[in-house]
Structure 1
Amino acid sequence: MNPLEVQFSTNPFVFQLVGHLLIAAFSVWILLRKRPLSDGVFIVVLVALTALMRLPAFLFNHELDPDESQMLAQGLTLSIDPVVYRSIDPTTGGPLTSYLLSGFAHLGFTLDFHLAHILSWVLTLLGLLIGYFTAKALNLAATAQWALLPFVSFISLAQYPDFIIFYSEITSILVLNATVFFLAYWNQKKGFQASELVIFGVLLGMIPLCKLQALPMAFVIGVYACVQLFLYQRSKLLSHFLYLTLGFVGLWAVWCLFLAKNDVLDDFYTYYIEANLAYKDNLAGSVVKRSKFVNFFRLPWVIINKGCGFEWLLYPFMLLSLVAGLVIIIKKRIRNGISLDAYFWVMLGGYLLMANLAISRTGSFYEHYFHYLFLPFLLLFSLFLKHLPSQTKWVMVSTQVAFFVLFVNNTVHNRPTNKFTSTPRPADVTRAKVAHQILQYGTPGQYMAVWGWSCDLYVATQMPQGVNENHTPRSGMYHSYQKHYYQRYLRDLKRNQPAIFVDAVTPRTIWMDNQKKYGHHNYPELAEFIAKNYQFRAEVEGVKIFSHK
C-alpha cells in the first residue's frame, strides 16, 4: 500500500493503543536488562517506534505553525538565488537553517510540509543521539539508554504542534550538541588533537549563524573549552588555542568574504545583528511585559501552566534533581572531593541556566524553545540514575504513563487524540483556494511577493520570494527599524518585479490583521508601485491577488 493512502482520523484508537503498548514493552525491556542493548539494536528500535508514531504528522501536508512556512519559503528561494540578504532575510532564525533546506531542494525534494515534519523528526532524533553518545563518553553507558526513554515517549506521543514542526532552533541544537560532545570527549581523554580543535572552532562559529537565541549556550561552551585548554596539556595551551581560533575565525572569514563579494555584508550586519538586537519582540503586543529577572524564575511554572506536554519531561527532572541533590551533595559532599571531571557538570549547569535565559528572555516562552532543554535533561538524567538507587530508574517511564493516562481519558470522553488528521481543516481548505487562485496567474518557480503574514502561500504555490521579507510586520508595523525594512521591500519589488503580488492582510493574519490600517494601499510608495505595475485579478477570502502587467 502506498503510505500516502493511509488515513488517520481524530481518534485512531487501535493505532495509538498498539503504539503505547510497543513503547511500554520496549521501556520495560530496557529497564529490566542487566546490560544495555547494543547501540545498533537500540537505535534501530528507537527510530522504528518514533517513526511509527509520527506517521500521522509525516502525512499531514499542512501548516502547523507559521515558522515552518517561513523557513520552507526561504529554503525554496535560496535554491533559486543562493545569496542570503539579497534573496531572503532569515530574521533571528539564522541563514544556515534556510541553506540546509535549499540543499534538500537541490537534491530534488519538494519543500512542503511532508518534508518539514519528517526533517523535524530526523534532526530532533539525531540531536538526542548525539546527546546519547555524549553520555557514553562521560562513562554513563549503563544509564544512557534509560535516560533516553522519556524522550522516546515524548517524541512519539506529544501532540502539541510546536514539537512536531520544523522549528527554527533545530540546526543550532544539533551544532550545540556536537560541541558538547567534544567537551565530554576531551573531559575523558584529557587531551586534544589539532583537527578536533579546528572542527570544534568551526562548529562554535556556526552557532550564531543558526540561531541568535543560542548565543548564551555557545558562550558557556566556548568558555569551558578554554578552561579545558588550561586544565589539560597546559604546555600546549597557546598552540591549541590558536587551532581552535583558526576554526572559528576561518569560518567567519569565509562567510564575510562570501557576503562582501555579493555586496550584502552591510545588510547582514544591519538586519541580522543591529535590527534583531533592537527588535526584542516589541511587535508581540500579546506578551505581558515583565523583567527578565522575573521571567527567568518563571520558566518551570510557565511550562506546567501551558500544559503542552513538556511538563511530563520536567516533572521527572525536578524529582530526580531533588533526590540527587540530597544523596550526592549532602551525603557524599565530604567523601567525594571536586575532581577535574566535575567541572563538566558545572559547565552543564551553566548551559542549563543559559538555556533558561534563551527561552525566557523576551517573555514569549515559545514552546519550541523548550527543545534547548533536551540535552541538559538527558545528560543529567544519565548522571542522576548512576548515583541513585536502582529503583529510581522506573521514574523514566512516568512520561509514557502520563501520556497513556491522557490518551485513555480523552478516549473515554470522546475527545480527539490525534491532531494530524487526513481530512484537511477548514483553514487548510481556505488556504488551498487562495493558492489555487494564485496559480491561475502565476506558475511555480516565478517570484511572488506577499504583503502581510502568509508564508504558507509560498509553500503551497512553490513560488519563491520576490522580496527578502516573506512576512512583513517589520516593514508594515512601527518600530525603530521599520523604515529600513520598508525601503528594502520596495527595492526588492523594483529589482525582481515579481510575477504575483498578494495583499494577504485579513482578520486572520498574524499581527497585521486590519486591512484598513495595514493593507498595502495605506503605504503610498507601495500603493503607487502596485497600481503602476500590477493588475488586480481576484479576491479570495479577503486575500487580494495581483499579477504583473
Structure 2
Amino acid sequence: MLNFDDLLTKYTLTGFVLVLFCCILFLKAYIGKKSPSDFSLSFWGALFLALLVFMRLPFLAYNHELEVDESQMLAQALSMKKYWVYWKYVDGTTQGPLTMYFLIIPTLLGMPFDYVTARLVGFIVLLIVLWLTYDTLQNFFSRKVSLIVFAPIGLFYVLSQGYFSALCNEYFVLLLLAVGFWQFSVLYKQHKPSGRLLFLIAFVAGMVPFAKLQGVPTALLTVAFTALLVFLRSDRKVRDLIILALGGLTFPVIVFALAFYSGIFEYFWEFYLIGNVQYSGGGTMLTKLLGFAKFLRYSGQFIVLFLSYASLLGAAVWMLIRSGAIGKTFSLLFFFSFFHVGIAFYSVIKSGYYFQHYLQFLMIPIALLAGVLLEAGLRQQTWSRRSIWISSSVWLAICILPHFVYKITTTVGYTATNTGLISIEDLGRPLQISAVSKEILKYAQPGDDVTIWGWKPAYHLETRTAQGTADVMIYRIMTPSRMQENYFQKYLKDLRRSKPIVFVDEITTKSLWFNEPAKYRHENFPEIRDYVAEHYHHVSTVNGEKIYVRKDRLIPEKELSVQKNQSL
C-alpha cells in the first residue's frame, strides 16, 4: 500500500469503514428478502459506484507518477500523436498500438497528457470491466452465486491502495477480454448461435493481439469454445464457422494492410511478434511454475483476492464431494472456465517476470470456475436462515478483513511501500516539472524529439517532447536475449534518423533498474558514445544526470549575449 499523510490516512480509513458498513447492510437487506426477485440491485449498484469513486478519488486527483508504466504509456501516446505510425516510431515492447491510441482520445477533447487524464481513462475502463464481469456471471449463474463470486473482485478494486490503483498497461486488453467473456455468456444462453454475435466475438478477439499479445491465448480459447458451440447447436455449421473466421480475420487484415502500406510490417514482425514470443526473464516453465508462490507473496493486495477464491473453490469442492455430486459439474461451462484458468495462468507466468499487473488476467477465469463449482455445490445443500447468515458473514470476513489488515499495518508503517508520502496538498495540483526537465526545456520545445538514455519516461511527459527512439527506455538493449543486438542496432538507427534535439543520460545510482553508472552509462557503448560525441555537446549535469544538446541547436556565446542584452 502507498503512504499517506494524516488527513488522507483518515480519509481512506473512513472509506474502509464505510465499505464494511455498507457490506453488512447489503447482507441484511439481501438475506431479509423473502424472494431474490424482490431484491433490486439498482440502489446497491449505485452505492458500490459511489464507494469506488470515494476510494479512488485521491489517486485520480494525484498528478504524479505512481508507477513507471504510467509515464511510459503517456510518453508513448504523446509521441504517437506526433507520428501516428506505431512500431517504427513508437514500440511499446509488450503493448500494442490500441493501448496507446486509446490514451490519445482524451487529448482530442482538450484534456492534457498527464496522470490525472490517464487514471480517469483507466477508471472509466475499470467501471466497464466490472459491469461486464458481473453481467457475465449473471448470464451464467443465479443471482446469489453471481454476487458471491463477484465479491472478491469488486472489493479488491474498491479497497486497493497500492499498485493496482495506478493505470496498468493491461487496461485495454483486459477490457477486450471482458467484452469477449460477456459476448460468450450471451451466446451461451442462445439455443442457436446468432451470426452477428459470432462475428463480433471473433472481431473483438482479433483486436486483442494489437492491445497486448499476452491476452491472445485467452482470446483464442474463447473463440475455440465459440466454435464448439457452433458445432453443438447450429443448424448451419459451415456458414456460422465462416462468419466466425471472417470476424477473427477482419481486424488483423486491416492492420496488416496498413502496416504494408506504411512500410512497417518488418518492424511488427521482428520486434513485436517475434520479440514478444521470445520475451522472457529466463528459466524453464517448471521453475516459473514453482516461483508462483513467491509471485503471490509480492503481489500486494491481490493475494487477498486469490486466497478468497481459493477458499471458495475449496468449500465448493467439499460440498460436491460430501454430496457425491462431483461428477455433475463436468459441463461445457466447467471446461470453458477450467481451461481459461489454465491458459490465464500460463499467460501470467510465461515471461518469468513478477509484474503484479499480470495477475489480473486470472480474475475473470477463476471467478467463472468458482461460479460453476459453487452453483453445483449449493444445489446439493439445504440452508436455514441462520446458516445463511453465518456462511455469508464468514465469506465477507474472508473477502474484506485481510484488506483491513493491510491498511492498518500500512498506517503503522509495517507494509508501506518505499514511495514518497502522498499529501492532501498534492491532490489537484498541475503536473510538476523536475529540475532535469526544466534544463531540457532550455534547449527543446514541446513537440521536439528528445532521447532519454535510461528509464525515465516522465521527462517526455513533463517537457511534452516526443521520443527520439522507438524504445522509450533501454530495457531491451540491456537485457540479454537472442535479439539484444537487433534491439541495439534499431535504437542506433532511430537515433541517427530522428537526430533528437536533446540526449539525456539519466543513469545514476538512483535510476530505476539500470543504477550502475560504471556499467550502463552510454559511454560504455562505443557506437552510442561516438555518435553523441560527434553530434552533441554536454551542457550540464543535474542530479548526476548528464544533458547533451545537439551542436547545431546551441546558440553561439556571443549571439546568446546579444539576445540577453536585447531582452533586458
Task: Give the TM-score, by structure 1 length.
Answer: 0.88
Distance 1:236 1:406, change over 3 A: same
Q: Residue by residue, what CA displacement relative to the aligned partner does 1:31-62 show, whole Å, maximum 9, x if unpaired? A: 22133754543332222111111122112222
Give how far 1:381 is off: 4.7
* Alpha-carbon distance between aligned partners in 1 of 2:260 and 2:217, rounded to the nearest angstrom: 27
Corresponding residue of 1:523? 525
- Out of 317, 324, 345, the residue aligned to residue 309 of structure 2 is 317
Task: Find the counterpart in structure 1 of residue 392 from structure 2.
Answer: 393
Q: 1:337 to 1:87 in 2, by over 3 A?
A: closer
Deviation at 1:30, TM superposition (A): 2.4
Unaligned runs of 5+ in 2: 553-568
Call closer, same or farther: CA 1:309–1:25 in 2, change over 3 Å: same
Return 13-22 or 458-467, whichever deviates more. 13-22
Q: Is 1:212 paired with 2:213?
A: yes
Deviations 1:311-363 (A, max 9, x none): 2112221111111112225524278475xxx2122111111111111112233
| Structure-2 change in CA distance of 1:439 and 1:376 (3 Å) | same
- Counterpart secondary structure, 1:449: strand
Output the CA distance in 2 between the equivalents of 1:269 and 1:38: 51
- Pick closer, same or farther for the CA change 1:274–1:335 going to 2, 3 Å: closer
Deviations 1:187-239 (A, max 9, x none): 11132222211111111111121212222222321221111111111x31111
Tell me, in whole angstroms, the C-alpha distance in 2 between the residues paired with 1:478 and 1:398: 43
- The 2-side partners of 1:8 and 1:59 are apart by 14
Matches of 1:160 and 1:413, distance apart in 2: 14
Distance change (3 Å), C-alpha of 1:252 and 1:39: farther
> Which residue number corresponds to residue 327 of structure 1?
319
Is 1:103 the counterpart of 2:99? The answer is: no
Query: Take 2:334 and 2:6, find their aligned partners in 1: how far apart are those partners?
Result: 44
Q: Greater shift after overlay, 7-16 or 529-538?
A: 7-16
CA distance in 1, matches of 2:267, 2:296: 40
- 1:286 alignment counterpart: none
The reply on whether 1:295 has 2:297 as its aligned counterpart is: no
Q: Indicate whether 1:167 and 2:168 are aligned.
A: yes
Cα gap change, 1:46 to 1:469, in 2 (>3 Å): same
- Residue 365 (structure 1) aligned to one of 354, 358, 362: 354
Contact 1:137 1:188 (8 Å CA) reproduced: yes
- The gaps in structure 1 that reach 5 residues or longer are 1-6, 283-288
Instruction: Look up the match of 1:349.
Output: 338
1:20 and 2:16 aligned = yes
Q: 1:353, 1:414 → 2: CA distance?
A: 34
Q: Show the 5 A alignment for 1:364-443.
A: 364-383=353-372, 386=375, 387-388=377-378, 390=388, 391-394=390-393, 395-411=395-411, 420-422=422-424, 432-443=434-445
Q: Which amino acid aligns with 1:28?
A: I
Distance (whole Å) between structure 2 residues aligned to residue 297 and residue 523 of structure 1: 37
- Partner Cα distance (1:18, 1:465) in 2: 42
Q: Deviations over 1:142-163 (max 9, x none)?
A: 33234333333322222222x1
Contact 1:320 1:384 in 2 (8 A): no
2:19 is the alignment partner of 1:30: no
* Contact 1:450 1:502 survives alignment (8 Å): yes
For residues 369 and 486 of structure 1, the distance between their equivalents in structure 2, rounded to whole angstroms, comes to 27
Q: Hey, what's the Cα distance between the residues in 1 that align with 2:90 and 2:329?
A: 53
What amino acid is the match of 2:311?
A: L
Letter in 2 for 1:253: V
1:131 shift after superposition: 0.9
- Asked if residue 276 in structure 1 is aligned to residue 276 in structure 2, the reply is yes
CA offsets per residue over residues 430-466 of structure 1, 9 Å max, x none?
Answer: 9812122212221222211111111121122221112
Matched, 1:42 2:38: no
> 2:563 — aligned with what?
none
Cα distance in 2 for partners of 1:170, 1:218 equals 15
Measure, in 2, the Cα distance between the counterparts of 1:414 and 1:135: 37
* Equivalent-residue separation in structure 1 for 2:513 and 2:406 (angstroms): 33
| Preserved contact between residue 8 and residue 56 of structure 1 (Cα < 8 Å) | no
Q: CA deviation at 1:261?
A: 0.6
Q: What does residue range 200-239 of structure 1 map to in structure 2 within 5 Å?
A: 200-233=201-234, 235-239=235-239
**DSSP 3-state at the match of 1:168:** coil
Q: Using the aligned pairs only, state the percent identity.
A: 25
Task: Give the direction of change, closer, same or farther, for the CA distance of 1:397–1:128 in structure 2 (3 Å limit).
Answer: farther
Alignment check: 8 A CA contact 1:198 1:247 kept: yes
Root mean square deviation, CA, Å = 2.8
Verify the 8 A CA contact 1:502 1:545 in the aligned structure 2: yes
Matched position secondary structure for 1:64: coil
Give the deviation of 1:250 after TM superposition: 1.4
Aligned with 1:501: secondary structure? strand
Map of 2:193 onto structure 1: 192
Identify if the C-alpha distance between structure 1 residues 108 and 164 changes in structure 2 by more than 3 Å, giving closer, same or farther.
same
Aligned to 2:562: none
